[in-house]
Amino acid sequence: MNPTPAPRIAIIGAGPGGLTCARILQRHGITATVHDRDAGPDARDQGGTLDLHADNGQIALREAGLLDAFFRLARPEGQEMRRLDTAGTLLFHHLPEEGEQFKPEIDRGHLRDLLLGSLRPGTVRWGHTLEEVSGPADGPRTLHFTNGATVEADLVIGADGAWSAVRRAVSRATPEYTGVSFLEARFDDADERHPRVAELVGQGSAAAADGERALFAQRNSGNHIRVYVIQRVPADWITAVGLTPEDTDGIRRVLLERYAHWSPRMRELIAGNDGPYTDRPIFALPVPHTWDHHPAVTLLGDAAHLMPPLGVGVNLAMLDACELALAIAHTDTVDEAVRAYEKTMLPRSTETARLLDGAVTGLLSTELPDFAGAKQN
């Protein structure tokens, strides 16, 4: 009797979710190939810092055999949180306890490198932008890439983020603008070149708001600080005021006008940055976002449940990846694995998405956020 052939698994997207899924599958002796649109691992900036929580992201890293390596890279001091007013006065201050590891920070790039380095050579195929998924619902499915390549798979896992191409194979939902936009400003060599900004932010994050606009600053590794200018504006607000994203001086003038009533010390967070701003309008999927079961296609992370950036996205993506990989490893068929995974993931993501639906506007509120009840200094 011939053994059942191993399923051909294609993961779309080499972000934390897709790479975590591939790593855990490989630890269980299951081969998966990851396809990513980037030309290579260093093709673009991976973004800022993120915290990995003990009750989701760290669970996935433990299953991946990478938790100890993560702690060697992570910055527990990054759990420091400050709440300021528009004058720069400290309202609340949380300092992590010695040995506190509930949600230490790690740069996105460092996390990605950790995951990439754990995979067998050749696992990730760079320069593959997915155009379409075709084939019968029960598989096999065919992946069509813009470079002309095609790949046949028994399971396609969409880990390709907010604007997922895989999502179109199971759902008609598309992300909707939340009404709030982030504009990222970068400060390099902060302690030496931007000492006042570094002092204001500390080793973790600092936030302030006036009801209509906010600033959120966060220290990254390598003595870098990223500041997010948060506004309730149209998604195309930069072009609406006659500017382009590359017009750094023009955008700075507009921001200084909008934040004119904030103190000069706080306005350094928007006006003293190095290099251009990065426009990041915030989108989210409709709530709830579910789909009919497809035996050969499923989604994880932002592809499945894009939510506002309020500290859960990467953690949920990695937990999704972990649970899906374990389901594949411990069930007899791909269909059974997908059913078992979605039975848990969809209710969990729906519950979280409902809690966060509209919550991004809370970043603009002058009321103190949840961490205000933490240790006051």
**What does the pLDDT look like over 240-249, one tens digit per residue?**
999 999 999 9
Taking 60 as the threshold, does the pLDDT of residue 371 lie above it? no
Taking 80 as the threshold, does the pLDDT of residue 296 lie above it? yes
What percent of the chain is predicted at pLDDT more than 90?
88
Q: Which domains does the chain have, with CATH numbers?
A: 9-80+100-174+286-360 (3.50.50.60), 177-282 (3.30.9.30)
Q: What is the mean pLDDT of the chain?
A: 93
pLDDT digits 0-9 by tens, 19-67? 999 999 999 999 999 999 999 888 777 778 999 999 999 999 999 999 9
Taking 90 as the threshold, does the pLDDT of residue 2 lie above it? no
pLDDT at 138: 93
C-alpha 267/C-alpha 261 separation (Å) is 9
pLDDT at 79: 95
User: What pTM was computed for the model?
Assistant: 0.94
pLDDT digits 0-9 by tens, 262-280? 999 999 999 889 999 999 9
Q: Provide long-range contacts, Cβ within 8 A and 24+ apart, for 131-140.
A: 131/165, 132/165, 132/168, 133/165, 133/166, 133/168, 133/169, 133/297, 135/296, 137/294, 137/295, 137/296, 138/295, 138/296, 138/335, 139/295, 139/296, 139/334, 140/8, 140/296
